[in-house]
Amino acid sequence: MIKLPRAVRQLIDSFERLPGLGPKSAQRLVFYLLHHPEAQLQEFAGRLVALKRDTVLCKQCHNVSEHDPCQICGDASRDKLLLCVVEQPLDVQAIEGAEVFEGLYHVLHGSISPLNNIGPDQLYLHDLVERLDGANELIIATNPTMEGEATALYIVEYLAQAKQRGKNINQGLKITRIGHGLPVGADIEYADGVTLRRALEGRRAV
């Protein structure tokens, strides 16, 4: 069997590490790129470098942004008494696209998944309490999956313990779970605007 050139093998290995890409898909992508002019590949490489260089995580909500604070946290017209917890930045984009939510967000960057060795300490979870000072409602909008449900339950228990420790959380804080407009097992980022609107409007107390 003829070995592929080292540069080809290394790029295939890199693509295989991306979610949803197997060996065959990685190979097809690499050979597709081989047919592109070098100038286009240089432009593509530059955009990959800029992905980290020109983005930051908002220190308040942890959303991906060009600036800190992000556009949403810096918007004085947003309802600062209403906070929505989501798993990923793409979930923020999806909910914003539905144009029904006027509060702020808190992005966890994942969900609790013991099988994948992801616990609460691997998420942006423990600074959530500080953001609830004076808040009236916390919407838990984690995905309706086993991991998302486990994360939602952990948040509820964590906040109850924080109250017992005397943390400054509004005693009348309403904690709700995103409604069932989303099918079980689906991800928020793939939902359409109507589905998200129904899910937000149908949120329930936890």
Residue 188 has pLDDT above 80, yes or no: yes
Backbone angles phi, psi at 39, to 5 degrees: -60, -40
pTM of the model: 0.83
Rg of the chain over all Cα atoms, to the nearest angstrom: 20
**How long, in residues, is the chain?**
206
Look at residue 1 and tell me if it is in a domain: no
* Domain harbouring 15, CATH code: 1.10.8.420
Q: How many CB atoms lie within 10 A of CB 17?
A: 8
Q: Is residue 44 one of the residues assigned to a domain?
A: yes
Q: Cα–Cα distance between 154 and 31 in angstroms, integer? A: 45
- Kindly state whether residue 154 falls inside one of the protein's structural domains: yes
Instruction: Enter the tokens of residue 50.
Output: 């800029």
CA distance 57 to 202: 30
Give the full edge-to-edge strand order of the sheet including 137-140.
103-107, 79-86, 137-140, 174-177, 204-205
- List, in order, residues 6 or more apart from 75 with CB less than 8 Å away: none
In this structure, how many other beta carbons lie within 10 angstroms of the beta carbon of residue 129? 17
Note whether 64 and 140 are same-domain residues.
yes
Peptide bond into 19 cis (omega under 30): no
What is the extent of the structural domain holding 40?
6-53
pLDDT for the residue 108: 98
What distance in Å separates the CA atoms of residue 176 and residue 4, rounded to the nearest whole number? 54
Residue 120 is assigned to a structural domain of this protein? yes
Cβ atoms < 10 Å from Cβ of 42? 10
User: Dihedrals φ, ψ of 12, to 5°?
Assistant: -60, -45
* Residue 109 counted as domain residue: yes
Quick one: 93 and 43 in the same domain?
no
Q: Which residues contact 183 (CB under 8 A, 6 or more apart)?
A: 144
SS3 state of residue 129: helix
**Percentage of the chain exceeding pLDDT 70:** 97
44 and 116 share a domain? no
- pLDDT value of residue 151: 96
Structural domains counted in the chain: 2
Are 48 and 72 within one domain? no
What are the residues facing 175 on neighbouring strands?
138
- Look at residue 85 in the predicted model and tell me its pLDDT: 98
What integer pLDDT is reported at residue 183 of this predicted model?
73
Per residue in 105-124, pLDDT tens?
Answer: 999 999 999 988 999 999 99
- DSSP character at residue 198: H
Q: How confident is the model at residue 163 (pLDDT cuts 50, 70, 90)?
A: confident
Tell me what the mean pLDDT of segment 114-140 comes to.
Answer: 93
Looking at the fold, whether 131 and 164 belong to one and the same domain comes out as yes
> Does the pLDDT at position 13 exceed 80?
yes
182 versus 133: the higher-pLDDT residue is: 133
Segment 78-92 shows an average pLDDT of 97
Q: What is the CATH number of the domain that holds 66?
A: 3.40.1360.10
